[in-house]
Amino acid sequence: MKNALLLLLIAFLLFLAIFFYWRNNQAESQLAMANEKITSLEQQIMRYTQPAPMDTLSSSQPESPAPETPETVEKVTPPESTSFEEEIGTLNEGDVTRLKKKGLKNPEADLMNDLMRKQKSLLTASGTMGGTMAIQDVRILNDRHALAYFEDGHNGGYLLLRYAVNNGTITWTKLDTSSL
């Protein structure tokens, strides 16, 4: 009986060692694929941010183009409208002013707090395996729309909302829901 328990314990520990070795290899391969994808995306970004060589018509004789060096390449800066990724979820000054005129003292905080209080009526998805669906992150997109991420620890999704402010009272309307 003792030997059987000892063999069972050894078999279990061996199984755990193999399982964790397999999971480690799997995680390392996923990390390597993610690194390759990041490198590929960085190369694509560099390709699109490098300016194209400009043709010159000042010379009547064809000349071989001078090699581009960092000093001769003009840096291209994207327009401000393309840098929204860092700013998504923040109200601009105009939105804040409009919402303050409608009765909110601190618009972004007031909106987030109100949404958290009213989330049970807006979330129609139910939790699984004992979890409770709850909003985890909110991005106030502008003076009329918000995007919320919700989950129960197992399943989640996004909720696109429209809100209206009238004399400091906020009403929420669900526009769309997508599950992950």
Question: Does position 53 have pLDDT exceeding 70, yes or no?
Answer: no
- List, for residues 12-25, the tens digit of each pLDDT value: 999 999 999 999 99
Ranges of each domain in the chain: 1-77, 91-179
Which range among 44-53, 71-80, 100-109, 151-160 shows the weakest confidence by mean pLDDT?
Answer: 71-80
DSSP-derived secondary structure for 83-100? -HHHHTT---HHHHHHHH
pTM of the model: 0.51
The answer to whether the beta carbons of residues 172 and 113 sit under 8 Å apart is no
> Six-digit token pair at 64?
């071989």
Q: What is the average pLDDT across 114-126?
A: 87
